[in-house]
């Protein structure tokens, strides 16, 4: 009863001391009932929304009543979004750390069809592209719906998929408030495994190449509206991990580098942030992303943060020696792209350094990286080759990783390749 009363207070517009809101409920009852509370609120919101849609448009008072009930139920879902304590619905930690997944009474997970009504609800909330240019109650309600939809962990049922993707694109537009853009990005992150394989020859119902191109552009404005970087908390991590998964596929690499919406300049600019708060996995993912999409990009920056990028590459190779990192397919499969990114770490532009001095500067700048960190990573790969294959990593994936590093270490640095993708060019 105490927990239910606190949840009610969290939903209302009343002041609650942070100590009470953040009180941890470690006991089993909270863990057991959290899913039930989310499910019941989900069903209550669905019932209210259906009543709202069935009520004639001339009955404004009744419609407003059902609309208010639906929004209250949405907030009730969100306040239970953290694992071990209640939360105010507008707490930004919910965007990256919240979990609104729930189960039916018998314990089975909901199907994507169970979320069809919520896709319609979101479409109603976002049909006007300029509806929530400023922070207001409607923006909050939109973000709550997006967080509830993130529990679907997909792109929706076939009849609703296009509507859902279009709503996500609108929510990631540069005019939208940050919490709405980031909540939409969170929903996309939860659907990344379904999104990544979408290709021209295997488009699901309601999806086409034009829609996917718009989504690729929207991912950029979601995190960098008006070229203003606005990451906070888990946003940086979520964006990099999402783009890493997408760039495993060639068509997504092309989408993410199209026209003036290339993600490459943003990814390069993030090198400094990743180096400052260095996370081994995120740093590796970022370097691999740059290696994957740089050769396709037509939008290379003229003066990137070379020192930050250089440090990122050094850190990535240093941590590549950690045996724990070598035990998964993502890591080994990303080595060739990491090698490509490493080739970009020249200390100066070919346009400003005399051609006869390039070889000396490259050898000098890469000596420590090349002779120590890269060599050690290669030794680890070769020594653990059989173990990696036995763990389920494809033989060709391991061979390609080893071959790419060997090729890098053995190539003639005195003859830089034409159009090699130098970041300073």
* Residue-by-residue pLDDT tens, the chain, 425 positions: 445 544 544 555 545 455 545 555 545 566 678 899 999 999 999 999 999 999 999 999 999 999 999 999 999 999 999 887 788 888 888 999 999 999 999 999 999 999 999 999 999 998 865 544 445 667 889 999 999 999 999 999 999 999 999 999 999 998 999 899 999 999 999 999 999 999 988 899 899 999 999 999 999 999 887 765 556 557 888 999 999 999 999 999 999 988 667 898 888 888 888 866 656 788 899 999 999 987 655 444 444 446 788 788 888 887 776 644 555 778 889 999 998 888 876 544 333 344 445 445 544 555 555 567 888 888 888 988 998 899 889 999 999 999 999 988 886 444 444 334 444 33
Q: Tell the residue number behind the tokens 């470690």, with chain if given.
A: 26
- Give the number of other Cβ atoms within 10 Å of residue 102's Cβ: 22
Nearest alpha carbon to residue 268 among 374, 96, 421, 417 = 421
pTM: 0.84
pLDDT at 296: 57
3-class SS letters over the chain = CHHHHHHHHHHCCCCCCHHHHCCCCCCHHHHHHHHHHHHHHHHHHHHHHHHHHHCCCCCHHHHHHHHHHHHHHHHHHHCCCCCCCCCCCCCCHHHHHCCCCCCCCCCCCCCHHHHHHHHHHHHHHHCCCCCCCCCCHHHHHHHHHHHHHHCCCCCCCCCCHHHHHHHHHHHCCCCCCHHHHHHHHHHHHHCHHHHCCCCHHHCCCCCCHHHHHHHHHHHHHHHCHHHCCCCCCCHHHHHHHHHHHHCCCHHHHHHCCCCCCCCHHHHHHCHHHHHHCCCHHHHHHHHHHHHHHHHHCCCCCCCCCHHHHHHHHHHHHHHHCCHHHHHCHHHHHHHHHHHHHHCCCCCCCCCCCCHHHHHHHHHHHHHHHHHHHHHHHHHHHHHCHHHHHHCCCCHHHHHHHHHHHHHHHHCCCCCCCCCCCCCCC
Phi, psi dihedrals of residue 297, rounded to the nearest 5°: -80, 140
pLDDT at 191: 97
Nearest alpha carbon to residue 193 among 165, 155, 148, 163 = 155
**Cβ-based burial of 105 (10 A; exposed 0-12, middle 13-18, buried ≥19):** exposed
Largest CA distance in the chain: 81
pLDDT at 236: 86
């Amino acid at each position: 009863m105490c927990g239910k009363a606190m949840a009610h207070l969290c939903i209302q517009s009343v002041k609650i001391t942070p100590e009470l809101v953040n009180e941890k409920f470690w006991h089993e009852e909270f863990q057991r009932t959290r899913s039930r509370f989310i499910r019941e609120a989900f069903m209550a919101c669905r019932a209210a929304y259906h009543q709202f849609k069935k009520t004639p448009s001339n009955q404004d008072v009744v419609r407003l009543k059902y609309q208010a009930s639906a929004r209250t139920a949405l907030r009730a879902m969100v306040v239970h979004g953290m694992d071990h304590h209640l939360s105010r619905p507008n707490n930004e930690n919910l965007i990256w750390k919240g979990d609104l997944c729930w189960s039916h009474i018998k314990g089975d997970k909901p199907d994507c069809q169970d979320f069809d009504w919520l896709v319609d609800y979101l479409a109603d909330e976002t049909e006007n592209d300029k509806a929530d240019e400023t922070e207001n109650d409607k923006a909050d309600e939109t973000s709550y719906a997006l967080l509830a939809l993130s529990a679907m962990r997909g792109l929706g049922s076939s009849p609703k998929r296009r509507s859902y993707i279009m709503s996500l694109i609108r929510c990631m537009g540069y005019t939208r408030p940050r919490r709405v853009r980031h909540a939409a990005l969170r929903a996309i992150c939860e659907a990344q495994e379904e999104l990544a394989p979408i290709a021209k020859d295997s488009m699901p119902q309601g999806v086409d190449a034009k829609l996917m191109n718009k989504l690729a552009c929207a991912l950029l404005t979601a995190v960098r509206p008006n070229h203003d970087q606005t990451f906070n908390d888990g946003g940086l991590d979520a964006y990099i991990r999402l783009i890493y998964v997408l760039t495993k596929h060639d068509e997504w690499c092309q989408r993410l580098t199209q026209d003036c919406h290339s993600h490459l300049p943003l990814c390069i600019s993030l090198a400094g942030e990743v180096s400052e708060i260095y996370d081994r996995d995120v740093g590796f993912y970022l370097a691999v992303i740059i290696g994957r999409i740089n050769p396709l990009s037509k939008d290379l920056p003229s003066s990137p943060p070379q020192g930050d990028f250089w440090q990122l590459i050094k850190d990535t190779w240093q941590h590549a020696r950690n045996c724990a990192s070598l035990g998964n397919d993502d890591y080994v499969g990303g080595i060739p792209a990491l090698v490509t990114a490493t080739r970009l770490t020249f200390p100066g532009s070919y346009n400003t350094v005399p051609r006869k001095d390039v070889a000396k500067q490259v050898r000098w700048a890469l000596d420590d990286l090349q002779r120590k960190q890269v060599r050690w990573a290669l030794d680890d790969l070769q020594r653990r080759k059989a173990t990696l294959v036995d763990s389920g990593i494809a033989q060709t994936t391991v061979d390609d990783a080893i071959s790419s590093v060997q090729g890098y270490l053995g190539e003639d640095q005195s003859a830089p390749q034409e159009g090699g993708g130098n970041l300073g060019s």
